[in-house]
Amino acid sequence: MITAAADGSALGNPGPAGWAWYVDDSCWAAGGWKHATNNQGELKAVLELFRATAHLDEELLVQCDSQYVINSVTKWMPGWKRKGWRKADGKPVMNVELLQEIDEAIAGRRYRFEWVKGHIGHPLNEAADTRARAVAEAYQRGREVPAGPGWSSDCEDGTPAPVQAARETASFDPGAPVDLGAPDFVVAEPELDDALFSLDEEPEAWHSVRLELSTEEIDRLRVRAQAVGLSPEEFLRGLI
Catalytic residue numbers, as ranges:
7-8, 42, 65, 119, 129
The continuous run of DSSP H or E covering 216 comes out as: helix 215-227
Q: Count of CB atoms within 10 A of residue 25's CB?
A: 18
Whether residue 128 contacts residue 6, with contact meaning beta carbons closer than 8 Å, is answered with yes
Distance CA 213, CA 221 (A): 10
Using alpha carbons, list the distances in angstroms from residue 13 to 8, 38, 100, 236.
11, 6, 22, 11
- What three-state secondary structure class fits 194? helix
Task: Mention every residue, 6+ apart, whose C-beta is less than 8 A from residue 13.
Answer: 37, 38, 237, 238, 240
